[in-house]
Amino acid sequence: MGLFMTRLFAWVLGCGLIFVLAGCKSTPASLAHPDKPNFIVLLTDDQVYYSIDYMPILERELIGKGINFTRGFVTTPLCCPSRASILSGRYAHNHGVLENREPRGGAANFDDTSTIATWLKQADYRTAYIGKYLNFYDDIQPLGYVPPGWDEWHAVLDGTKPHQLYLNYTMSENGEVVQYGTDPEDYSADVFTAKALEFIRESKDEPFFLMIGYYNPHEPHESAKRHNGLFRNDEEFMDKLLPSFSEEDILDKPAWMQGLPPVEWEEMVNAYQRTVRSMQSVDEGIAEIVKTLEQIGQRDDTLIIFLSDNGLAYGEHRLSTQKNCQFEECIRVPFVVSYPRLITSPRQDDRLVANIDIAPTLVELAGATIPAGVDGLSLVPLFSDDARQWREALLIEHWQLVDGFGSIIPDFFGLRTQNWKYIEYVTGEEELYDLANDPYEMENLAYGQDYAHRVEEFSAQLQKMKDQ
């Protein structure tokens, strides 16, 4: 009997037995690893939280079949430190990648020997990374280096050339350097999605972990050619400007903000239009991924997480398409989790979750032990909405950059609680915002006599979290 007939006979026999017990409703693929769900992490770059209003497929396929965490944050609002926190489950002060480039950051400073990839590999998962990895990945030699734990590795090498991450980029494809061109089919988001679909199909008989690092919508917010005509109504986007746009009175803000000029709405509206155009290819990618999972009978057994590595300000508080800041537009990100096996009713959840929570969540669901030193919490108790206790505060960190906009922002550490935000700068300056009554952070209360006791309490709590 040939190999094909042998497999066919085994499948028919197995399905016959299952039919007696359960009506044979599941395909063989869906029974391959019932105790080990698949994991897909979809990571965007510099996506502000409110831009998901222009992603209808995300809304239908993930938010409509999962949890939209409306208070999802990154603990360091900068690409490389945030991505390192996702991969390690640790705050930046613990994993040591403090900024995007050396000497205090970049891919070369990240300990890639103990990450979510190595932990899941030890739990018998097939793993793949596709897209943008850590900044200055090109600095690691040999060129095209593949970090431990990854079975499939397709990472962009041109991490220092923003205009060459949508088209005309190079990738390490399992260590081989491959050049992509400028034709429409070379658009990076589409290439990443196609590689992801191939990996999913190849992995249908074993548990897998897939992470896609889309470059969208990072500046220059380039969109696929087919989307260039979308979202060009200025009036529609004028209505999206927040009350903090080009904030008039910034005298209560820290010194680094005092010299910021007012922002012109035309420039910011144009940038935001380009952003939501850029996100359409990612939205379409979600549809293709979900469709492929359904085809192989794995959608219900696949946990999908969608988030960004940091947010971006579009003129709020006079910050012109900037990250690194302490405001919500920089630290708050889209954060959606869909896992039909455990999340049976779609809902919004306003508890504090963060990028550091992804690694421990996946490790727990894989049946492995969460490694020592992980700062994040597993989100699993939140899936059934029965978590009796959850964190009361998150630590927010920033280190002054060598160049770029972040070079004008001094080091700061802060607390984000359910209703408050407290920031301490190395300059001795402080900020305190009552987010319940001032959600757009217009009035700094840190120096008000009525809030002195609260500032003292938050400062002590912040010191404890920094020391952990």
Question: Could you give the residue numbers annotated as active site?
Answer: 79
> How far are the Cα atoms of 29, 283, 287, 338, 341 from residue 299, in angstroms, in the given order?
11, 17, 12, 10, 9
Residues 6+ apart with CB under 8 A from 386: none
Taking the CA of residue 403 as centre, how many other CA atoms within 13 Å lie in the half-sphere pointing to its CB? 3
What SS3 class is residue 208? strand
Number of other residues whose CB lies within 10 A of the CB of residue 259: 9
Looking at this protein, which amino acid is placed at residue 25?
K
Angle at 141 between CA 137 and CA 144, to 5 degrees: 60
- Close Cβ partners of 356 (under 8 Å, ≥ 6 residues apart): 75, 85, 86, 89, 90, 91, 374, 375, 376
* Other Cβ atoms within 10 Å of 160 Cβ, number: 15
First to last CA, the chain: 62
* Residue 209 near residue 128 (C-beta atoms within 8 A): yes
